Amino acid sequence: MTNFTRDDAVAVAAALRLPTRPFINGAYRKTTGGKLLESVNPATGKAFAEIEACSISDVDAAVAAAKAAFTSGVWSAKHPAERKAVLLRFADLIRANLVELAVMESLDSGKPITDCLTVDVPATADSIAWHAEAQDKLFSRVSSTDKDTLGLIVREPLGVVGLVLPWNFPMLMAGWKVGPALATGNSVVLKPSQMTTLTALAMAELALEAGIPEGVFNVVTGSGAVGEALGLHPDVRIISFTGSTEVGKKFLDYSRLSNLKRIVLELGGKNPAVVLADAPNLDFVAEQQAFSILTNMGQNCASNSRLIVHKAVKEELVEKLVSVCKGWKLGDPLDPTTQLGPVIGENHCKSIERYLDKGKSEGARLACGGNRLDRDGYFIEATVFDRVTPEMTIYREEIFGPVLTIIEAQNDDHAIELANDTEYGLTASLYTTDVGKAHRLSRQINAGTVSVNCYSEGDMATPFGGFKQSGFGGRDNGLEAHEQYTEVKTVWMNLNAPSRS
Ligand code: NAP
Ligand code: MG
């Protein structure tokens, strides 16, 4: 992809075949309600496609198709190695369509094209392949019994899996969930965010081409009402949701009010990066933390939006960070040199602007940025607020934009106390060159992933999810994701029943 230019991206965009209907039971289907969704390009603020939105009866049809496919055994009863082969083909087809999928994702979400080409699309394929590869290497267990008994502990797929997804990593979140859900034999009904529907629909078509049977991978289009219909549906056995804490909590109600379906929630974050006085090279720390808050325009549940810095190194680090942030190139997301594109939409942009105003009015020091750009689309400058205090709104609430807040710690204990002073607990970073401290303090931080001397979410092999109000009920990624989509069964056999004669 080294020679890929903006002109190439524009040419691919002009030639894209954009899906316009939900994908139900193996085909794009006409909806019954007549409602339309606009696909808006965040770089221009203009609609470039219209998609039919599902009615509740369309959702019912998708769930019925998924249930029928599951019950028939056409996928659920296949040998795991056969499912693996099909899923590996699916991953290969995603890779083969890299450029088209990347451009589609960039147009619909505003993500920089280079990120789509190097992260979103390839990591989606990698996730599906990883879970496919794992599936036929996982064994059931046998309990310890006497010689006349056999106790089997087996895992079985749940049935119809509902996936309700956010707009910030549309394809990648789909990949994180579809991979293990399909590898374990379930059927899926996926609801993308109404703001980023296109790539999920394109994935469903590729899944069919790869050999995933009709009805096993469905995509329903529409707003939160479609997510609610899935949440309340009596034939959906699990909802795996990624999105805000506020909406995620509603799924616990949907479950309670319907069929006690399993609920797994991957939610928001206000993640800390703790930088101690003995941190490694501060240029390195500044690069990493600028990346953490600016990548995907800060619209990342795992971004470190609270930088907690020991007073001995704070001034030096702030200076370096501001310089790195100013160097991030903002611009047209289809230009491969762009690092910072637009945020997702007008409402979200306004919400970030309100936080910028709050930061200024509540007395934080604006070290750089702080404004929306006066141009079409939804562009916000890379922003750093220094001298933030725990009482300030920008320190407490998830802004979900390119806005870093910096707070000074007096000593190590104070730094950890600040890190844990939040209702969230998704990820955290810790910078220290003292190996003892690295071990001790990483265990004291309440977060699902703590990265030491780097900014990282781990990789496909390590579970990802939140403590406290950042998560509930399970983990994405790693073998833990397989547990999310399976039920444990005990089979208890008497091997010595008396004969009838
Ligand atoms: P969101 O508003 O909570 O929406 C998530 C999904 O829920 C969307 O598909 C949305 O549909 C749907 N939805 C909205 N209202 C609903 C309702 N009443 N009932 C059922 N479904 C409903 O989240 P978002 O704004 O898309 O994404 C940003 C949030 O996701 C942030 O808080 C971020 O931290 C979190 N996130 C977490 C992770 C993680 O792994 N922990 C990863 C990425 C993002 P519509 O969009 O069509 O309205
Ligand atoms: Mg869009």
Question: What is the DSSP annotation of 362-407?
Answer: TT-EEEE---B-SSSS--B--EEEES--TTSHHHHS---SSEEEEE
The alpha carbon of 489 and the centre of ligand 1 are apart by a number of angstroms equal to 32
Residues of the domain holding 401? 272-452
Q: How far is CA 407 from CA 63, 173, 389, in A?
A: 48, 31, 6
**Same domain? 336 vs 370:** yes
Sheet of 27-28, strand order:
27-28, 23-24, 217-219, 187-191, 160-164, 238-242, 262-266, 471-472
In a domain, 496, yes or no: no
Residues catalogued as catalytic:
266, 301
In a domain, 497, yes or no: no
- Please, are residues 264 and 239 in contact by the beta-carbon 8 Å criterion? yes
Q: From atom 35 of ligand 1, which residue's Cα is the shortest distance away?
A: 243
Q: Does position 1 have pLDDT exceeding 70, yes or no?
A: no
In a domain, 459, yes or no: no
In a domain, 499, yes or no: no
**Same domain? 258 vs 347:** no
**Over the stretch 202-238, which tens digit does the pLDDT of each residue have?**
999 999 999 999 999 999 999 999 999 999 999 999 9
**Same domain? 176 vs 284:** no
pTM for the full model?
Answer: 0.97
**Same domain? 290 vs 148:** no
Q: Average pLDDT of 174-199? A: 98
**Over the stretch 369-397, which tens digit does the pLDDT of each residue have?**
999 999 999 999 999 999 999 999 999 99
Amino acid at 66: A
Phi, psi (degrees; rounded to nearest 5) at 76: -65, -30
The SS3 assignment for 28 reads: strand
Q: Which residues contact residue 74 at a Cβ distance below 8 angstroms, ignoring those fewer than 6 apart?
A: 213, 215, 216
Residue carrying structure tokens 């992933």: 449
The alpha carbon of 243 and the centre of ligand 1 are apart by a number of angstroms equal to 3
Phi, psi (degrees; rounded to nearest 5) at 383: -125, 135
Q: Which residues contact residue 464 at a Cβ distance below 8 angstroms, ignoring those fewer than 6 apart?
A: 176, 266, 448, 449, 457, 458, 475, 476, 477, 478
Q: Which of 193, 403, 464, when mutated, tests ligand 1's pocket best, judged by the most ligand atoms within 8 Å of its CB?
A: 193
Confidence of residue 308 (pLDDT cuts 50, 70, 90): very high
The alpha carbon of 118 and the centre of ligand 1 are apart by a number of angstroms equal to 24
**Same domain? 348 vs 208:** no
In a domain, 226, yes or no: yes
**Over the stretch 403-451, which tens digit does the pLDDT of each residue have?**
999 999 999 999 999 999 999 999 999 999 999 999 999 999 999 999 9
Return the CATH number at 360.
3.40.309.10
Give the ligand with the smallest distance to the CA of 47.
2
Q: Which residues contact residue 309 at a Cβ distance below 8 angstroms, ignoring those fewer than 6 apart?
A: 275, 317, 318, 406, 407, 408, 409
**Same domain? 434 vs 479:** no
CA separation for the pair 138, 185 (Å, rounded): 13
**Same domain? 281 vs 361:** yes
User: Ligand 1: which atom is nearest the Cα of residue 470?
Assistant: 41
Q: Does position 454 have pLDDT exceeding 80, yes or no?
A: yes
**Same domain? 262 vs 278:** no
In a domain, 460, yes or no: no
CA separation for the pair 304, 326 (Å, rounded): 18
Q: Which of 242, 264, 403, when mutated, tests ligand 1's pocket best, judged by the most ligand atoms within 8 Å of its CB?
A: 242
**Same domain? 210 vs 323:** no
DSSP tag of 297: G
Q: Which residues contact residue 115 at a Cβ distance below 8 angstroms, ignoring those fewer than 6 apart?
A: 295, 296
**Over the stretch 117-168, which tens digit does the pLDDT of each residue have?**
999 999 999 999 999 999 999 999 999 999 999 999 999 999 999 999 999 9
The DSSP bridge partners found for residue 275 are 309, 431
Return the CATH number at 228.
3.40.605.10
Q: From atom 11 of ligand 1, which residue's Cα is the shortest distance away?
A: 224
Give the ligand with the smallest distance to the CA of 251.
1
Q: Does position 244 have pLDDT exceeding 80, yes or no?
A: yes
Give the ligand with the smallest distance to the CA of 18.
2
**Same domain? 104 vs 228:** yes
User: Ligand 1: which atom is nearest the Cα of residue 266?
Assistant: 41
**Over the stretch 40-92, which tens digit does the pLDDT of each residue have?**
999 999 999 999 999 999 999 999 999 999 999 999 999 999 999 999 999 99
Q: From atom 43 of ligand 1, which residue's Cα is the shortest distance away?
A: 301
The alpha carbon of 177 and the centre of ligand 1 are apart by a number of angstroms equal to 15
- The pLDDT assigned to 453 comes to 98
Q: From atom 39 of ligand 1, which residue's Cα is the shortest distance away?
A: 266
The alpha carbon of 244 and the centre of ligand 1 are apart by a number of angstroms equal to 5
CA separation for the pair 253, 476 (Å, rounded): 22
Q: Does position 198 have pLDDT exceeding 90, yes or no?
A: yes
- Ligand 1 neighbours (beta carbon < 6 A): 164-169, 191, 193-195, 223-224, 227-228, 231, 242-244, 247, 250, 266-269, 301, 398, 400, 426, 466
**Same domain? 483 vs 424:** no
In a domain, 365, yes or no: yes
Angle between helices 170-183 and 121-135 (to 10 degrees): 10
Q: Does position 175 have pLDDT exceeding 80, yes or no?
A: yes
Q: Average pLDDT of 17-43? A: 97
DSSP letter for each residue of 198-248: HHHHHHHHHHHHHTPPTTSEEE---SHHHHHHHHH-TT--EEEEES-HHHH
Give the ligand with the smallest distance to the CA of 247.
1
How many domains in the chain?
2
Confidence of residue 501 (pLDDT cuts 50, 70, 90): confident
The alpha carbon of 30 and the centre of ligand 2 are apart by a number of angstroms equal to 21
**Same domain? 71 vs 184:** yes
CA separation for the pair 217, 205 (Å, rounded): 9
CA separation for the pair 251, 163 (Å, rounded): 12
In a domain, 263, yes or no: yes
